[in-house]
Structure 1
Amino acid sequence: MSATEVPQASVPGPRQGSLADGRTSPALTLLAIGDYPTGAFTVPDMLDVSGTRVRIRRARNLTEAERLLKDDVNCILLDLDLAGETGLDLDSLRHVLRLAPRTAVLVLTSSGETDAERAAEAVRIGAQDYLTRDELDPSHLTRAIRYAVERKRADLAQRQLAETRLLAQENARLERGLLPVPLLAGAEDWLTFASHYRPGRSRALLGGDFYDTVRTPDGTVHAMIGDVCGHGPDEAALGVELRIAWRALTLAGLSGTVLLSTLQQVLEHERADDEIFATLCALDIAPDGRTADLYLAGHPSPLLSHPGELPRLLPYEHGGPALGLLADADWDGERIELGEAWSLMLYTDGLIEGHIGEGTQRLGQDGMVRLMAAHLAAGLRGEELLDAAVTEVRDLNGGELTDDVALVLLDRGQTAPAPDRP
């Protein structure tokens, strides 16, 4: 018997391997491609000393291999002497790697120096290991198959981890690009800006909520926050489009009903479905910071607080419908007296629609007012205040909020002591 033949007495017929403790070892499936492996493997499976059963599937060429390559194949053994199909022998390996990118691959070569160099090149291209014809015995082959399968699993896991880290880095950069940077040049000496954003969809970059703040050349500070109904990527994209449109229109000099009507036209043109709508809260703060014009399109009213007083919702009687609901809608503004020192919080309904405990009761606007009053009394300001508020709302909900949450905080010289906890 030559050294290249598989000893028949050492190759049992098909059966599951039994481990020492009586458990059945998992079976592996090998697809052997080439004339030589086909001649060597004359039985349907092998069993090594560890109890691992290796089922053998044979293919004479790459065409037949494509037909036999199923999801249950754990490893491919490719004879690099496979000739006449793709020209260069390593082209056959590249073809197999494209066909089965998640399957372990072993290559079979002769034992000469040239063949060793070719085998090393095969590993560099993507094979897990190589065997020489002198090593083609059941014990050596089954061990090589097990190691190749585990090595491929480790490579795939490592690659997935690297891709996950890269995706997280790209997402962070993309999120920074999509979320707005306030344009408040000239107002930094009297106005402080803070924001908080948390999408409701798991692993999402952005949700349907959007916000922005800009100062126009006349000294007016324009702030807005909005919410596109729904939670999918289309809604998130529409939110970004509306935010960019709002900034462009505001810097172009539009405001009030004219601005909201134009935004509605943008929404109607860009939305994927006629039933999609968006709520919006817009504020135009006068250059002296003492008054503001408030516009609400189906959106919750902002929260206003003054030094030494409990926070309260801004009263509003002339709100209009959400954008996209009525073709001929109108939105009348309402003049709000702010005073000398104040803090304004704009928010989306994701903050107030979380549950309280295990029942069906929701936080609501009244609960939010009490919650914010407590955090103000504790001396929290800026982003620290917003982060603490969202954290408490999430805790009250008993877990992550399912809706998007966006918050904008505008603070004008609030230096007096905060009110006592209610």
Structure 2
Amino acid sequence: MVTEQHRQPDPLLARTDRLHLLLVEDDDGDAVLVEALLEETDLRFELHRARNLDDALDALDAYPVDCVLLDLGLPDAVGMSGVERLRSGQDPPALVVLTGHAGVDLGVQAVAAGADDYLVKGEVEPDLLSRSVHYAVQRSLWAEQQRALYRSQVRADETTRLERALLPTPLVRDDAVAVMVGYVPGGNGLLGGDFYDAVERPDGSVLCIVGDVAGHGPDEAALGATLRTAWRTLVLADTAPEDLLPLLERVLVPERARPEVFVTLCQILVAPERTHADVYLAGHPAPIVLGAGATLLDTSARGRALGIPVPGGWRAQRVELGGRWTIMLYTDGLVEATLAGSEHAVPDGGRAGRLERVGLEGLREVVDVALADGTEGIVERVIRRVRSLHGGPLVDDAAILVVGWGGPDDARPAGRSASLADSAEWDR
């Protein structure tokens, strides 16, 4: 039996202009009475009928139902079992119980078991039936929104925990070596494909890496975490530094979601005596040396990005560091950040052109200004300054790793700091 009433749309029902009702009633006479009452209401509805609870559960799987009108006296449901079974599914519809008992106790038990309302047969008027269905549906919609909000909060909490797990604690035992790291995701997200790490090897040398998976999202974040974990595992296994990038590419190719995904990275190996470093570049911007000013490291041994099927490998370039030094590795989210309000008009009256980018020289100037307050806290100052120039959260992820050494005569412990992606500092 399907009945449809065409009346004015109900203002209370924002989700649909027609209610899908399911009457679960084994008595034909009672079913006719309920249908007649519905026809006298202001509801716009489509009515379906099931004669027992099993058929009702099948109906809920077959088509959408906004509200169930349930008779408690069904041949396959005793007492509150019908209410409990209907409420046991995921995102159940609104539920109004119909009972032939005039006492209050049975209705209260039904509401306690999960029904939104109850009505006594023979005492129901059209207005009462209309209000009961209205309120039941609205309560169901509210409960659905609360469940969605809860699920969203749970996902956000889980994502935050995952993000924290993706950001490693550098394994550098030498207290004289400073290691400061920072990471913020692009677009106010929590997951990104940038990664970093620093590990001290048994011979006292320190290996550092910063990498960037092309793209942004959960797939890229998972790939970045996989590559970072693989890199650390290889380093702890005392793999030769020159073999790390080829092995990482062997991990990357089968793990990436699409064949066009590639990874850029910068790896530096600081010698045990701290006087020089070997720099490996795989399609990545060169590090910045922090001293009296910020200087882009002059590197000519730039190799291709990992995952790009063209000839060529990666070789180290030796860089002399001197007695005291600090180096900053970073990802291109800082370089490619645009400058707010920097649009230029196109000649001949065309539309405004692209926004200018911070660029490598602009980032060097940002770091130069940040150095005025020393190296302590420089990671936070650089990221905050770039965000300010951009006019808000960055579009792409950004990671920074600063490693430094105070020289052979500096006995003070070096600085260690980490600014995580969910830190409230970035929104101040």
Q: TM-score by structure 1 length?
A: 0.80
Matched-pair contact (CA < 8 Å) for 2:267–2:280: yes
Map of 2:154 onto structure 1:
166
Q: CA deviation at 1:368?
A: 0.4
Q: 1:191 aligns with which of 177, 188, 202?
A: 177
Q: Say if 1:125 and 1:412 are closer, same or farther in 2 by CA, change over 3 A.
A: farther
Q: Say if 1:334 and 1:144 are closer, same or farther in 2 by CA, change over 3 A.
A: same
Q: Matched residues in 2 for 1:17 and 1:223: separation?
A: 65
Q: Matched residues in 2 for 1:284 and 1:165: separation?
A: 42
Q: 2:43 aligns with which of 53, 56, 59?
A: 53
Deviations 1:227-271 (A, max 9, x none): 122224322222111111111111111233211111111112322
Q: 1:243 aligns with which of 224, 228, 232?
A: 228
Q: Matched residues in 2 for 1:165 and 1:64: separation?
A: 33
Q: Which amino acid aligns with 2:216?
A: H
Map of 2:362 onto structure 1:
367
Q: Matched residues in 2 for 1:198 and 1:140: separation?
A: 56
- Aligned residue pairs total 383
Q: CA deviation at 1:365?
A: 0.4
Q: Matched residues in 2 for 1:136 and 1:380: separation?
A: 79
Q: Say if 1:99 and 1:388 are closer, same or farther in 2 by CA, change over 3 A.
A: same
Q: Say if 1:44 and 1:147 are closer, same or farther in 2 by CA, change over 3 A.
A: closer
Map of 1:316 onto structure 2:
299
Q: CA deviation at 1:124?
A: 4.0
Q: Which amino acid aligns with 1:225?
A: V
Q: CA deviation at 1:347?
A: 0.7
Map of 1:409 onto structure 2:
402
Matched-pair contact (CA < 8 Å) for 2:10–2:43: no
Map of 1:8 onto structure 2:
none
Q: CA deviation at 1:184?
A: 1.3
Q: Say if 1:140 and 1:366 are closer, same or farther in 2 by CA, change over 3 A.
A: same
SS of alignment partner, residue 307 of structure 2: coil
Q: Say if 1:129 and 1:321 are closer, same or farther in 2 by CA, change over 3 A.
A: same
Q: Matched residues in 2 for 1:124 and 1:175: separation?
A: 41
Q: CA deviation at 1:54?
A: 5.0
Map of 2:145 onto structure 1:
157
Q: Matched residues in 2 for 1:337 and 1:94: separation?
A: 74
Give unmatched runs, 5+ long, in structure 1: 1-12, 20-25, 416-422
Matched-pair contact (CA < 8 Å) for 2:212–2:264: yes
Higher relative contact order (CA 8 A, sep 6+): 2
SS of alignment partner, residue 106 of structure 1: strand
Map of 2:126 onto structure 1:
138
Q: CA deviation at 1:120?
A: 4.4
Q: CA deviation at 1:163?
A: 2.5
Deviations 1:346-370 (A, max 9, x none): 1111111111134222111000011
Map of 1:252 onto structure 2:
237
Q: Matched residues in 1 for 2:326 and 2:40: separation?
A: 75
Report the aligned-residue RMSD: 3.1
Runs of 4 or more above 6 Å deviation: none
SS of alignment partner, residue 223 of structure 1: strand
Q: Which amino acid aligns with 2:73?
A: D
Q: 2:383 aligns with which of 363, 376, 390?
A: 390
Q: Matched residues in 1 for 2:303 and 2:238: separation?
A: 22
Matched-pair contact (CA < 8 Å) for 2:204–2:271: yes
Pairing 1:342–2:330 present: no
